[in-house]
Amino acid sequence: MVRGVHDRGGLRTDEPIDRSEHALEDWEVLTDALAGALARRGLVNVDELRRGIESIPPAEYERASYYERWLLSIETILSEKGVLAAGELDRRAAG
C-alpha cells in the first residue's frame, strides 16, 4: 500500500523520540495566526492546509520544521487559488 510521507503512525524505529520542548519563534506564532486569518476569510480551510502539507516532496517534508510545512502549504493553496501570483512571495522576500 502506498503510504504518504506524513502517514507514519505505528512505523517501527530504533531512534530515540525527541520529547524536548522549545519556545516558539515569532514567525511560528505569526504563521499560526496567518492560517487562522486565512481560514476565517474562507481562503484556506484546514483540510486544504493538511493536503498541502501532505503533498510536500518527501525530502523537503523531512527537512522542514512543523511551521515551515504550514508556510509551504499556505503558499501552495494560495497559488492554486490565484491569491498569490507565481513567484510573488520570492519577489517580495527579495525586497
Q: Which spans of this chain sit near other proteins (rule: CB under 8 A)?
A: 1-3, 7, 9-10, 45, 47-48, 50-51, 54, 80-81
Q: What count of residues does the chain have? A: 95
Cell (9 digits) for 52? 498541502
Nearest-approach distance from CB 28 to other proteins, in angstroms: 23
Shortest gap between Cβ of 54 and other proteins (angstroms)? 6
Q: By the 8 A CB rule, do 57 and 78 touch?
A: no
For other proteins, the closer CB: 28 or 43: 43
Taking alpha carbons only, the member of 26, 46, 28 closest to residue 36 is 46
